[in-house]
């Protein structure tokens, strides 16, 4: 990695723990001057003389004034997160004290780090590849077991391993073609075109399943948006409360009281569901405020990854339901049909069809089954196994380009086009693979990726 960014030589410092009062606050420094900077403020010992991976207790002093009693952790290059000299100062958790120590570090020659700059340095020093660095940001943002698991897997190089295997195969392919080119004068065909075709097809299959995993990846990373729709008084607010186990939405006997859309999240088996409560779908409403709500709810229904269609099982006819299901299917919306108020009716699934689920939102009957169905619909054949899941849109788009170039190679092989043209397409697919891991990159792209990190990471 030869790319050096502006400010690369600076020693950087930032608060690594959240701002505010805490038991301790950790300041982190990284760079060639990190030990010098802290040495000047820490009279107890010469940190240069201390071995790496050691802790040191003492006072931080500035111009004779003691700022804090701290613990210093020392990580000498290259055995540190960034690959540079890293010093961490654990101060007492007062924002005032932390600020004073931070200012002292800056006065002694460090500069405040930009968002993600520590991780960026780790990347530029070859400690992480780009997919691992991005997984660090994902892990920090992880809010469910599934997102934590995927991010950790990728930090440990799960995705990188798959990509480098793909890369190796492509390079092998490209070598075969280049060999043929070197001897083109002699009109020898070294690479058996059928073998080449099989190889490209195999690589295409792998890219294909990675691309497919993005749908699940999106679910893991962003959650699933769920719209609860149904006629007024079907029990939507009651269901929302039952799912959330809280009295968040307004429940009333007057049809159409839930006027505003409320968004709440729900974590079922590690999948994040974002529930959107909507105004009832009423086609003949004349109330102006109601109409705004309905317009919004129709839009939500189209935006939702999953629609829970809730109907009152005491008053809905199977024909009515059939029509709703047809509409949802025609619109290509993923849905569950949920019959409510089962406590008031002797209706069963046979009446409405196997597809439906009967619940009583008010008493909680069937809510657990509904939760399980929601997970099942989202995961379908996908499981959260050990497979690599593409969670990042940047990776997805690069993989798409890889796939397209490979498809062109395959077409080229079919048309028996010359090797030098094939080599061009292979190089293009290698280029896009390299973009994912960061072997091919530019300063703007890096700045964009790391700017999404928090300061201190």
List residues near ligand GDP by CB under 6 A: 230, 232-238, 251-253, 258, 280, 340-341, 343-344, 360-362
- 7 labeled binding residue: no
- The H or E element that residue 274 is part of is strand 271-277
- With respect to ligand GDP, which residue has the nearer C-beta, 251 or 417? 251
Minimum distance, C-beta of residue 272 to ligand GDP, in the bound complex (Å) = 23
When the beta carbons of 105 and 279 are compared against ligand GDP, the nearer one is: 279
**What's the closest the beta carbon of residue 361 comes to ligand GDP, in angstroms?**
4
Q: Is 161 annotated as a binding residue?
A: no
Tell me if 266 sits within 8 A of 273, measured CB to CB. yes
- Which value, to the nearest 10 degrees, does the dihedral of the CA atoms of residues 286, 288, 290, 291 take? 80
By CB atoms closer than 10 A (0-12, 13-18, 19+), residue 314 is: middle
Question: Which residue lies nearer to ligand GDP by CB, 278 or 403?
Answer: 278
The edge-to-edge listing of strands for the beta sheet with 111-112 is 54-62, 65-75, 86-92, 24-30, 12-15, 111-112
Q: How far is the CB of 251 from ligand GDP (least distance, A)?
A: 4
Does the annotation place 85 within a ligand binding site? no
Minimum CB–partner distance for residue 358 and ligand GDP (Å): 10
Known binding residue 257? Answer is yes
Instruction: Kindly tell me the number of DSSP H helices and DSSP E strands found in the chain.
Output: 15, 12
Between CA 225 and CA 204 the distance in angstroms is: 31
Nearer to ligand GDP, 73 or 314 (CB): 314
Residue nearest ligand GDP by beta-carbon distance? 235
Q: Do the annotations mark residue 6 as ligand-binding?
A: no
Known binder of ligand: residue 340?
A: yes
258 is known to lie in a ligand binding site: yes
Residue 418: partners with Cβ closer than 8 Å, 6 or more residues away:
none
Has 316 been labeled as part of a binding site? no
Q: For 416-432, b where at least 16 C-beta lie within 10 A, e where not — what string?
A: eeebeebbebbebbbeb
For residues 4, 10, 13 and 16, what is the CA-based torsion angle, rounded to 10 degrees? 10
* Sheet strands (E) in 52-93: 54-62, 65-75, 86-92
> Is 255 known to sit in a ligand binding site?
yes
Q: Cβ of residue 95: shortest distance to ligand GDP, in angstroms?
A: 45
Could you tell me the smallest distance in angstroms from the CB atom of residue 249 to ligand GDP?
Answer: 7
From residue 163, alpha-carbon distances to 98, 197, 287, 406, 435 in Å are 42, 20, 57, 15, 11
Shortest Cβ 319–ligand GDP spacing (Å):
21
Handedness of CA 340, 346, 347, 349 (dihedral sign): positive
Return the number of the residue (86 or 281) whose C-beta is nearest ligand GDP: 281
3-state helix, strand, coil in the chain (%, to 5): 50, 15, 35
Residues belonging to the binding site are: 28, 88, 127, 233-238, 252-258, 277-280, 340-343, 457
Give binding residues for Mg(2+) as ranges. 237, 258
Binding residues for K(+): 233, 252, 254, 257
Binding site per annotation, positions for (6S)-5-formyl-5,6,7,8-tetrahydrofolate: 28, 88, 127, 457
Binding site members for GTP: 233-238, 252-258, 277-280, 340-343
């Amino acid at each position: 990695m030869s790319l050096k960014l502006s400010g690369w030589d600076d020693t950087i410092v930032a608060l690594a723990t959240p701002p505010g009062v805490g038991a301790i606050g950790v300041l982190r420094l990284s760079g060639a001057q990190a030990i010098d900077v802290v040495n000047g403020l820490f009279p107890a010992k010469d940190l240069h003389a201390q071995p790496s991976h050691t802790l040191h207790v003492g006072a931080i002093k500035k111009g004779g004034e003691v700022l804090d009693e701290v613990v210093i952790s020392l990580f000498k290059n290259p055995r540190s997160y960034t690959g540079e000299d890293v010093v961490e100062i654990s101060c007492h958790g007062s924002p005032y004290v932390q600020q004073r120590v931070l200012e002292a570090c800056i006065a002694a020659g460090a500069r405040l780090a930009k968002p993600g700059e520590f991780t960026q340095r780790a990347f530029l020093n070859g400690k992480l590849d780009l997919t691992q660095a991005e997984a660090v940001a994902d892990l920090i943002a992880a809010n469910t077991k599934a997102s934590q698991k995927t991010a950790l897997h990728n930090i440990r190089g799960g995705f990188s391993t798959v990509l480098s295997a793909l890369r190796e195969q492509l390079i092998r392919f490209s070598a075969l073609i280049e060999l043929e080119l070197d001897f083109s004068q002699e009109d020898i065909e070294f690479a058996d075109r059928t073998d080449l075709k099989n190889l490209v097809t195999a690589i295409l299959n792998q890219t294909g399943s990675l691309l497919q995993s993005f749908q699940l990846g999106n679910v893991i990373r962003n959650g699933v948006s769920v719209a609860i729709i149904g006629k007024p008084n079907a029990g939507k607010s009651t269901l929302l409360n039952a799912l959330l186990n809280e009295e968040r939405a307004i429940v009333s006997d007057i049809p159409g009281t839930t006027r505003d859309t409320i968004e709440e999240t729900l974590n079922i088996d590690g999948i994040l569901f974002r529930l959107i409560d909507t105004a009832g779908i009423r086609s003949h409403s004349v109330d102006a405020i109601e109409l705004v709500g309905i317009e919004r709810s129709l839009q939500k229904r189209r935006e939702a990854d999953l629609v829970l269609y809730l109907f009152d099982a005491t008053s809905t006819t199977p024909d009515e339901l059939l029509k709703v299901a047809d509409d949802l299917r025609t619109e290509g919306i993923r849905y569950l049909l949920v019959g409510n108020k089962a406590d008031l009716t002797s209706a069963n699934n046979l009446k409405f069809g196997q597809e439906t689920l009967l619940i009583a939102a008010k008493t909680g009957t069937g809510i657990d089954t509904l939760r399980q169905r929601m997970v099942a619909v989202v995961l379908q054949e996908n499981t959260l196994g050990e497979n690599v899941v593409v969670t990042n849109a940047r990776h997805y788009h690069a993989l798409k380009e890889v796939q397209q170039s490979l498809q062109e190679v395959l077409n080229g092989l079919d048309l028996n086009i010359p090797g030098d043209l094939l080599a061009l397409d292979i190089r293009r697919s290698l280029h896009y693979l390299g973009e994912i891991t960061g072997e091919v990159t530019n300063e703007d792209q890096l700045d964009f990726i790391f700017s999404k990190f928090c300061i201190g990471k």
